[in-house]
Structure 1
Amino acid sequence: MARSDDAVVLDIEGHDVRVSHPDRVVFPEPGLTKLDLVRYYVAVADGALRGAGGRPMVLKRFVKGIDAEPFFQKRVPENRPAFVDTATLHYARGTSAEEAVVRNAAGLAWVANLGCLDLNPHPVRAEDLDHPDELRVDLDPMPGVDWSQIVDVAMVARDVLGDHGLTGWPKTSGSRGIHLLVRIEPRWEYPQVRLAAEALAREVERRAPGLASARWWKEERGESVFVDFNQNAKDRTVASAYSVRALPDARVSTPLSWDEVRTRRPAEFTVATVLDRFGERGDAHAGIDDAAGSLDGLLRLADELGPAEKAPRGGAGGSGGSGAGRRVSRMPLIEVARTETRPEALDALERWKLAHPEVLAHLTPADVLIDGMRGSSSLWYRVRVNLQHVPEASRPAQEPLLVDYDPWAGRA
């Protein structure tokens, strides 16, 4: 390891990787520095590359620390090293981006040096950008849902996959949920993969009513686990295996074996514990690339289920819609705020609660909706309240937003 000014240069498998500000503390609670994170990714490279290697990647950069909002960089920096490849993705809205493709431990170290805590690869290989080789099942719990319910839904999803000739590989999301990764033969385009994932979600909901939901609109799910099929849309990415998440304890999205799913908890898996676990047992998903299956079964299921129910559309000024043809919610929703950051969203919610104390006793955890919304290069937050459990005569009316942040201001 050589030092240059305030940087160190690491020799990683014959490649020089410059790490700027190596002593900067990224996670104060466990005391992890930027150099610690780079070395973590090098140590778990075999597993991390199994999840993210050879795939175009959105760079989610936490340049101001874990307490600030990251920004999303699709285009690879111009000064990328020779050991980082690229692939040009074309999006439905007519734009394109040349994105980074890492294939070795040096590439992981380079990405970590840019401030990328978690890895966000697309479900395609750089050699074939039109045919995903991975279907992703994101089991996303609504507020009020405990771990045992998430596990129950994961087990049902595993059975549905198995009944249709596919193998799910579980990992903690690194937050509250579980991801199931399903390797598939790269023979289907994105719309078919998403349709297969939606059929899976609907079948899981049918087998586990009340526990799981395939309803896309958040206010309609109740206290359930949302089987998020839309993570298979072309522009979506999820944090891949061994990704470090921006939580105070440096939690890691960790591959599990199925016999661990019910007994282990996400908080057990941090940078420190995963380093020990990986050194002792290697990657729990080591066999995933040998388990590619066919989508034929899920696509037949989609045909049997028929088109999914769609929300009604309203005319201009219709209730729940803000213009002609907009979706009309079935639920009595009010919007509280649109904010640039999550702390601002939480503050706006508390101010709304203080103004409406008579409503609070009627609300369940799932009635309060704080959604991270993707802007042009970063997240913004929308705060809504579902008044479904509030007596109609006591429901407050829609008021001016407490904060009205416009993520598109100043952009064409």
Structure 2
Amino acid sequence: MSPQQVGTVEVDGNEIRVTNPDKLLWPEAGITKGMYLQKLVLLAPYLLRYCRNRYLTTIRYPDGVGGKSFYQKNAPSPLPPYVQTSQKEGIRYINLDSVSTLLWLGNLAALEFHPSFEYIGGEEPAEWVLDIDPSTEDEPRLMEAVAMIGETLTGMGIASVPKTSGATGVQIIVPIKPGYTFGELRRVGKFLGEYLSEKYPDLFTIERLLKDRGNRIYVDYVQHAAGKSLAAPYTPRGRAQATVSTPLTWDEVRQGVDLKQFTLFTVDERLHKYGDLMAKQKKQSLDTILEFVR
């Protein structure tokens, strides 16, 4: 490796080594590692909010999108002194709590950030998440279906925020007050999924096996569990278009917005326009619906 391919950046008094800044990480989109690290600085105030103090899984693409990738839970060695970790069930997870750690991971070609549903050291869910997963790559009914779920939640007295997965689906996030268990939220999710599947049997399913879903849209309430993870709000994704998992307004959902338009190229303007749509939603009480489900 030539000297021109290695450099350092200083963040918060920490020196982060940057290798191969001209390497294409999203070849089709023309995004190099150097460009990516600049985007991570922009995303950091938003992305860190949903990764800090959680057990982090990353997906690394050492040869860029289109090459081989792998999930990483265990922190690689050696670790810089500014990278914080936490042990759980024999795994040494990274705590993504600083811009320095984010850029260090970016240099390792970590393109996706998947935090746990619970906080480090805790057992309660940090929020309630429904994963709305189409059975086909381009599902024209997806946004209509998501809008229907949002309206159903509103009818149950629950405010929520939809976000693109950055891939093919949408997640619906419900910020919740402390004190609930994963088991309680799973019961509410099961109730909602069964209600939707019975009322709109040609549109929704709670069938986990892809082969048994047909062309129906899967309401996944099971993924939301302790020890599991999901793409964070504002994480980039290892997709050719360099899409970013992006919170939406319900008006955008009803208008059938195109999921692929939210990318590393467009995220700057969107954040300037809307700020963090997730942070604007107040934490909800689910006591009434839980009592009903019981």
Superposed pair shares fold, TM > 0.5? yes
State the Cα distance separating 1:298 from its structure 2 match.
Answer: 4.3
Q: 1:23 to 1:185 in 2, by over 3 A?
A: same
Give the deviation of 1:239 after TM superposition. Answer: 1.0
Q: Partners of 2:230 and 2:59 in 1: how far apart?
A: 11
| Higher deviation after alignment, 112-121 or 69-78 | 69-78
Instruction: Measure the CA separation in 2 of the matches of 1:80 and 1:200.
Output: 44
**Aligned partners of 1:59, 1:69: CA distance in 2, in Å?**
14
- Partner Cα separation in structure 2 for residue 66 and residue 145 of structure 1: 20
Paired position in structure 1 for 2:287: 296
Determine the C-alpha separation between the residues in 2 that align with 1:192 and 1:138. 17
Taking a change above 3 Å as real, the CA distance of residues 163 and 50 of structure 1, as seen in their structure-2 partners, is: farther
Give the equivalent residue in structure 1 for 2:80. Answer: 81
CA contact (8 A) 2:25 2:64 kept: yes
Query: How do 1:90-105 residues align onto structure 2 when only pairs under 5 Å count?
Result: 90=89, 96-105=90-99
SS at match of 1:286: coil
Q: Give the corresponding residue for 2:165.
A: 173
Gap change, CA 1:69 and 1:134, over 3 Å in 2? farther
* CA spacing shift, 1:119–1:144, aligned 2, 3 Å: closer
Q: Number of paired residues?
A: 292
Quote the residue 1:309 is aligned against: none
1:321-346 alpha-carbon deviations (Å, 9 max, x no partner): xxxxxxxxxxxxxxxxxxxxxxxxxx
Does structure 2 retain, via aligned residues, the 8 Å contact 1:153–1:204?
no
Does structure 1 retain, via aligned residues, the 8 Å contact 2:57–2:93?
yes
Tell me the distance in 1 between the aligned counterparts of 2:47 and 2:161.
14
* Percent of residue pairs identical: 28
Scaled by the length of structure 1, what TM-score is found? 0.65
Equivalent residue letter for 1:10:
V
Aligned pairs for 1:95-134 (under 5 A) are 96-126=90-120, 128-134=121-127
**Residue 240 (structure 1) aligns with:** 232
Question: Which residue does 1:59 correspond to in 2?
Answer: 58
Question: Cα distance 1:86–1:161, how it changes in 2: closer, same or farther (>3 A)?
Answer: farther
Match of 2:279? 286
Residues 161-215 of structure 1: CA deviation (Å, up to 9, x unaligned): 3334432211111122111112223323333333332222222323433111112
| Bigger radius of gyration among the two | 1
- Determine whether 1:71 maps to 2:70: yes
Matched letter for residue 72 of structure 1: Y
Residues of 2 paired with 1:121 and 1:222: CA distance? 30
What CA distance in whole angstroms lies between the structure 1 residues aligned with 2:151 and 2:74?
A: 39
User: What's 2:28 paired with?
Assistant: 29
Relative to structure 1, is the Cα distance of residues 160 and 281 closer, same or farther in structure 2, using a 3 angstrom cutoff? closer
Please give the secondary structure, in 1, of the residue aligned with 2:118: coil
Please tell me the residue identity of whatever aligns with 2:99: A
Equivalent in the alignment of 1:6: 5
Q: Which amino acid aligns with 1:212?
A: F
| Residue 202 of structure 2 is aligned to residue 203 of structure 1 | no
Q: C-alpha separation between the residues in 2 aligned to 1:302 and 1:139?
A: 21
Runs of 4+ in 1 over 6 A off after TM superposition: none
* TM-aligned CA distance change 1:110 to 1:302, over 3 Å: farther
Distance 1:206 1:152, change over 3 A: farther
Gaps in structure 2 of 5+ consecutive residues: none
Higher relative contact order (CA 8 A, sep 6+): 2
Question: Which residue type is aligned with residue 181 of structure 1?
Answer: I
Give the residue type in structure 1 aligned to 2:17: R
Write the mapping of 1:135-214 to structure 2, written as runs, cut at 5 A.
135-143=128-136, 146-147=139-140, 149-214=141-206
CA distance in 2, matches of 1:282, 1:236: 28
How far 1:141 moved relative to its partner?
0.6
- CA–CA distance in structure 1, aligned partners of residues 53 and 70 of structure 2: 23
Choose 110-119 or 201-210, whichever is displaced more.
201-210
User: Kindly tell me: are residues 144 and 98 of structure 1, through their superposed partners in 2, closer, same or farther at Cα, counting changes over 3 Å?
Assistant: closer
Deviation at 1:255, TM superposition (A): 1.3
Query: Mind listing any 5+ residue stretches in structure 1 that lack a counterpart?
Result: 91-95, 304-412
